[in-house]
Protein backbone atom coordinates (compact mmCIF):
# COMPACT_ATOMS: atom_id res chain seq x y z
CA UNK A 1 0.00 0.00 0.00
CA UNK A 2 1.47 3.32 -1.04
CA UNK A 3 1.16 6.36 1.29
CA UNK A 4 0.36 9.84 0.03
CA UNK A 5 3.32 12.13 -0.53
CA UNK A 6 4.15 14.69 2.21
CA UNK A 7 3.50 17.54 -0.25
CA UNK A 8 0.01 16.25 -1.04
CA UNK A 9 -0.76 15.86 2.69
CA UNK A 10 0.44 19.43 3.35
CA UNK A 11 -1.77 20.82 0.57
CA UNK A 12 -4.81 18.91 1.82
CA UNK A 13 -4.15 20.12 5.36
CA UNK A 14 -3.78 23.72 4.22
CA UNK A 15 -7.20 23.55 2.56
CA UNK A 16 -8.98 21.73 5.40
CA UNK A 17 -7.58 23.69 8.36
CA UNK A 18 -9.48 26.96 8.80
CA UNK A 19 -7.40 30.11 8.93
CA UNK A 20 -7.40 31.76 12.33
CA UNK A 21 -5.76 34.82 10.81
CA UNK A 22 -8.83 35.79 8.78
CA UNK A 23 -11.14 35.36 11.76
CA UNK A 24 -8.80 37.26 14.04
CA UNK A 25 -8.22 40.10 11.60
CA UNK A 26 -11.98 40.59 11.45
CA UNK A 27 -11.76 41.28 15.21
CA UNK A 28 -9.10 44.02 14.91
CA UNK A 29 -9.61 47.76 14.73
CA UNK A 30 -7.13 50.53 13.87
CA UNK A 31 -7.32 53.04 16.71
CA UNK A 32 -4.71 55.73 16.03
CA UNK A 33 -1.61 56.64 14.12
CA UNK A 34 0.86 58.97 15.79
CA UNK A 35 4.11 60.37 14.40
CA UNK A 36 6.90 61.53 16.70
CA UNK A 37 10.04 63.30 15.50
CA UNK A 38 13.34 61.84 16.70
CA UNK A 39 15.54 64.71 17.86
CA UNK A 40 19.11 63.98 16.78
CA UNK A 41 20.70 66.23 19.39
CA UNK A 42 19.14 64.72 22.51
CA UNK A 43 17.94 61.33 21.30
CA UNK A 44 14.41 62.11 22.51
CA UNK A 45 11.04 62.12 20.76
CA UNK A 46 8.58 64.94 20.15
CA UNK A 47 4.92 64.77 20.97
CA UNK A 48 2.63 63.59 18.16
CA UNK A 49 3.08 65.92 15.17
CA UNK A 50 -0.22 65.04 13.47
CA UNK A 51 -1.70 68.25 14.86
CA UNK A 52 -2.72 70.54 11.96
CA UNK A 53 -1.85 73.62 14.04
CA UNK A 54 1.86 72.71 14.10
CA UNK A 55 4.33 74.41 11.78
CA UNK A 56 6.55 71.70 10.29
CA UNK A 57 8.85 73.94 8.25
CA UNK A 58 12.60 73.26 8.26
CA UNK A 59 12.40 70.61 10.99
CA UNK A 60 15.75 69.29 9.72
CA UNK A 61 17.26 72.45 11.21
CA UNK A 62 15.09 72.51 14.33
CA UNK A 63 12.85 75.32 13.07
CA UNK A 64 9.08 75.70 13.10
CA UNK A 65 7.54 73.78 15.99
CA UNK A 66 10.45 71.32 16.15
CA UNK A 67 12.35 71.72 19.42
CA UNK A 68 15.57 70.39 17.82
CA UNK A 69 16.80 69.23 14.41
CA UNK A 70 15.11 66.01 13.24
CA UNK A 71 15.48 63.85 10.13
CA UNK A 72 13.82 60.69 11.44
CA UNK A 73 10.49 59.83 13.02
CA UNK A 74 8.64 56.99 14.71
CA UNK A 75 5.18 56.07 13.43
CA UNK A 76 3.17 54.45 16.25
CA UNK A 77 0.13 52.50 15.03
CA UNK A 78 -2.33 51.42 17.72
CA UNK A 79 -4.53 48.38 17.08
CA UNK A 80 -7.44 47.29 19.28
CA UNK A 81 -8.62 43.72 19.61
CA UNK A 82 -12.41 43.52 19.56
CA UNK A 83 -12.15 40.01 21.00
CA UNK A 84 -12.18 39.97 24.81
CA UNK A 85 -10.39 36.61 24.67
CA UNK A 86 -7.24 38.40 23.45
CA UNK A 87 -6.79 40.22 26.76
CA UNK A 88 -9.39 38.98 29.26
CA UNK A 89 -8.27 38.35 32.84
CA UNK A 90 -4.90 39.94 32.12
CA UNK A 91 -3.87 36.93 30.00
CA UNK A 92 -2.24 38.79 27.15
CA UNK A 93 -2.26 36.84 23.95
CA UNK A 94 -0.29 37.19 20.76
CA UNK A 95 -2.02 38.25 17.60
CA UNK A 96 -1.44 36.72 14.20
CA UNK A 97 -2.84 39.81 12.48
CA UNK A 98 -0.66 41.96 10.25
CA UNK A 99 -0.45 45.74 9.86
CA UNK A 100 0.76 47.22 6.57
CA UNK A 101 2.13 50.73 6.22
CA UNK A 102 2.73 52.72 3.06
CA UNK A 103 4.43 56.13 3.21
CA UNK A 104 4.76 58.34 0.15
CA UNK A 105 6.72 61.58 -0.08
CA UNK A 106 6.10 64.71 -2.08
CA UNK A 107 3.81 65.47 -4.97
CA UNK A 108 5.39 62.72 -7.07
CA UNK A 109 4.23 60.22 -4.42
CA UNK A 110 7.60 58.49 -4.16
CA UNK A 111 7.26 55.47 -1.84
CA UNK A 112 9.72 55.81 1.04
CA UNK A 113 8.39 52.98 3.20
CA UNK A 114 6.26 49.91 2.58
CA UNK A 115 6.33 47.30 5.35
CA UNK A 116 4.22 44.59 6.96
CA UNK A 117 4.49 43.76 10.66
CA UNK A 118 2.83 41.12 12.77
CA UNK A 119 0.79 42.59 15.60
CA UNK A 120 2.30 41.74 18.98
CA UNK A 121 0.67 41.09 22.31
CA UNK A 122 -2.35 43.05 23.49
CA UNK A 123 -2.27 44.83 26.83
CA UNK A 124 -5.02 44.54 29.44
CA UNK A 125 -7.03 47.24 27.63
CA UNK A 126 -6.93 45.24 24.38
CA UNK A 127 -4.38 47.51 22.66
CA UNK A 128 -1.14 46.74 20.82
CA UNK A 129 1.35 49.29 19.45
CA UNK A 130 3.34 48.65 16.28
CA UNK A 131 6.28 50.92 15.52
CA UNK A 132 7.66 51.87 12.10
CA UNK A 133 10.79 53.96 11.53
CA UNK A 134 11.01 56.75 8.95
CA UNK A 135 14.46 57.99 7.88
CA UNK A 136 15.60 60.97 5.81
CA UNK A 137 12.41 62.95 6.28
CA UNK A 138 11.64 66.58 7.01
CA UNK A 139 11.37 68.57 3.75
CA UNK A 140 8.66 66.80 1.74
CA UNK A 141 5.07 66.32 2.76
CA UNK A 142 4.28 62.72 3.69
CA UNK A 143 1.12 60.69 3.28
CA UNK A 144 0.96 57.76 5.67
CA UNK A 145 -1.56 54.98 5.11
CA UNK A 146 -1.89 52.05 7.50
CA UNK A 147 -4.10 49.02 6.99
CA UNK A 148 -4.92 45.78 8.71
CA UNK A 149 -3.96 43.17 6.11
CA UNK A 150 -6.77 41.25 4.41
CA UNK A 151 -9.31 43.90 5.45
CA UNK A 152 -10.46 47.25 4.16
CA UNK A 153 -9.73 48.97 7.50
CA UNK A 154 -7.34 51.87 6.81
CA UNK A 155 -6.20 55.11 8.41
CA UNK A 156 -4.52 57.87 6.41
CA UNK A 157 -2.60 60.84 7.76
CA UNK A 158 -0.76 63.74 6.16
CA UNK A 159 2.41 65.28 7.55
CA UNK A 160 2.93 68.69 5.90
CA UNK A 161 6.71 68.94 6.12
CA UNK A 162 8.30 71.66 4.02
CA UNK A 163 11.64 73.39 3.72
CA UNK A 164 12.40 76.97 2.82
CA UNK A 165 15.58 78.90 2.39
Nearest to 132 by CA among 122, 142, 146, 121: 146
Pick the more confident residue, 11 or 155: 155
Query: Is residue 58 classed as helix, strand or coil in its secondary structure?
Result: coil
> pLDDT tens-digit profile of 72-111?
999 999 999 887 665 555 555 556 689 999 999 998 789 9
Rounded to two decimals, the pTM is: 0.80
% of the chain exceeding 90 in pLDDT: 61
Instruction: Quote the DSSP letter at residue 126.
Output: S
> pLDDT tens-digit profile of 27-37?
889 999 999 99
Is the domain spanning 20-159 CATH 2.60.40.10? The answer is: yes
Residue 106 CB contacts under 8 Å (≥ 6 apart), including other chains: 140, 141
Helices (H) and strands (E) in the chain, counts: 2, 8
pLDDT-wise least confident of 49-53, 88-92, 117-121, 155-159: 88-92
Amino acid sequence: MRLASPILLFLIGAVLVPSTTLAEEAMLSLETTQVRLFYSGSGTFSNDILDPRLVLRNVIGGEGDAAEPATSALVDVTVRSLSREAYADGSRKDSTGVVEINVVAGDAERVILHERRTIGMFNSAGLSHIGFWLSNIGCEKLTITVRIAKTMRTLSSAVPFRCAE
